Structure 1
């Protein structure tokens, strides 16, 4: 066995590269834990686990950039975690909660969400090294991201928990909604991202106040708050498409002038 050279120091994995990967793995664990709670019929705990996974998914990338621990391994791990936490787990939840009562085709609608989530993330990975990305360069996303797709797919459960109405649990409501969300994830529609917003200095304090109020609402009335957030997100998609179309026209005009 060849011993390490005395002139070459041992190089381990720096902690700054391990920390964001650990957060990603934790998000994966919470996503799968949602399935465990769904099997036992604890729907509130199941949704809470997926919501926590979404929060962790939003943190891992920022932690990696802050610690300068970005890596291709981390990107691949993040995509695999997203497929399970925001594709497979919500699909199983909506199937156990409602779609299992639709003979033969219920599982097909649930699979549509998981498959489209995987296709979206595969498309994202394939375009990482592509230089020409019009949506990304303008600060927009292509389609609905996986965490938001999971949140939208679970909207009927939020409304059912808020109102107790059996209408939201009917297969003729859940199945079309699942297909719509699956289509939005793999669509080419331009959707807002954090980088597409530019706040004026005078609005920063108001935004911080709004974030605090939303956090308090999530604690005191989580299902009603999640319902409102999901509905507002859906309503914002036409505005994001129109906003990107305006940016594209401005770019075309600048290129024509040049």
Structure 2
């Protein structure tokens, strides 16, 4: 067994272990008895391998530059909370706008759950790193064409937690059922023979966060990562001289 002679070697070993498929089963293989060795403990006192450090340095610098690039400014933090969430409103709205741009078709609805958002957008400077913290997943923005009965299931799901849906308003009753659903300002009729376009992440379209009623629908891809759509939207706001803002604005009413 070779000694770990530097932190670089130790990190390489840990990376190899991390990349080894966890689902594989360990197989016992008899090995000859080896002479005892003295392993050197891994600690911050070990010097970096100069060659490895030199190889990694330009990549580390590039990543640092990209992550610290300023995208825009938020007057106050954009956070998520139970019920209608400013952060979910912000992301669901930009999903509709970006999906419409990519497909050339208006989007009736945009859906984003609080569970799909991992961190708030901070007050003050928003960087690329801020968006990676918000959306660390490689989720693609997709479009679903949903019949009325599936849209009804969406609002039934939403009403239980008073989740807002971009492009719509509704009233959540005490029993957790939705009433007075309006899409684009028009009363929603689940029996109407039409399809509703929904901008959503591929994770939620596949039934994530218990949105299982979407699983039967075939999503249309946009080729755009949701994280990229968020970054581009913030940049567009900044180019237009606008701050990054969002709020809960009464999309969900309680009765």
Measured against the shorter chain, the TM-score band is under 0.3
Provide the TM-score with structure 1 as the length reference: 0.23
Structure (1 or 2) with the greater strand fraction: 2
Question: Which has more radius of gyration?
Answer: 2
Provide the TM-score with structure 2 as the length reference: 0.23
